[in-house]
Amino acid sequence: MYIPAHFDESRPEALHALIRDHPLGTLVTHGPQGLDANHLPFALIDRPDGPGVLHAHVARANPLWRECGDGDEVLVIFRAGDAYVSPNWYPSKHEEHKQVPTWNYMVVHAHGRIRVRDDERFVRAVVGRLTKTHEAGQPVPWTMADSPREFIDTLLQAIVGIEIEITSLVGKAKLSQNKEARDLRGVAEGVKASGADALAGAMLACAQAKESD
């Protein structure tokens, strides 16, 4: 991924936060049929001695787990907000007419090595962790115990776990940081009006940082 210096995001805590806030990742693999991509919700497990581990599961009918060998290199792409940027949102455009359209976004690429975990205990733990995380905001959180054990056991047999040991995290936050503060703030307001609130908030934070320098 091409990353100009002003768009580089290398803070581990920021990269981990993006993954946790946007856990649906695109897993890119290279198997016998060539490149393949699967869209899966991931759980990020912290490790004190490295960038962490990703856990997920796929349908047993999905050929991915048979075509990937343990230790194969893979890429998981996590994408946060994105939005079109109109030149009209830059205050300087109306003075000099030297701005052009662009697209802002935030993304993390997790490089790692995959391992297939076809065992019921691992899969049950992955499903339990994902359920606990994403049901937390519900008025009455659903748990696996809400369903008959036989029903859950049957469904667990139909999925296979995967574990990805992350070898590196690469982050890019394209938030118009290369613009002067007033233009950055103008774009942030335009992005917010378009409905991309999270992205706009990140851009406003960059504008405030520029203004305080």
- Supply the pLDDT for residue 93: 66
- Can you give the pTM of this predicted structure? 0.92
Domains, the chain, ordered by start: 5-177 (2.30.110.10)
pLDDT tens digit sequence for 88-108: 998 876 777 778 999 999 999
What's the burial of 109, exposed, middle or buried (CB within 10 Å: 0-12/13-18/19+)?
buried
Estimate the crossing angle of helix 149-156 against helix 120-135, to 10 degrees.
Answer: 110
What does the pLDDT look like over 154-213, one tens digit per residue? 999 999 999 999 999 999 999 999 998 889 999 999 999 988 899 999 999 999 888 887
55 Cβ neighbours under 8 A, 6+ residues apart: 42, 43, 45, 125, 126, 129, 161, 162, 163, 164
Cα-based distances in Å from 64 to 57, 59, 126: 11, 9, 18
**In degrees, to the nearest 5, what angle opens at C-alpha 71 toward C-alphas 76 and 18?**
20
- Written as one string, the DSSP assignment of 34-90 is EEEEEEEE-EEEEETTEEEEEEEEEETT-THHHHSPTT-EEEEEEEEEEEEE-GGG-
The C-alpha atoms of residue 4 and residue 6 are separated, in whole angstroms, by: 6
Q: Which tens digit of pLDDT belongs to each residue from 8-21? A: 999 999 999 999 99
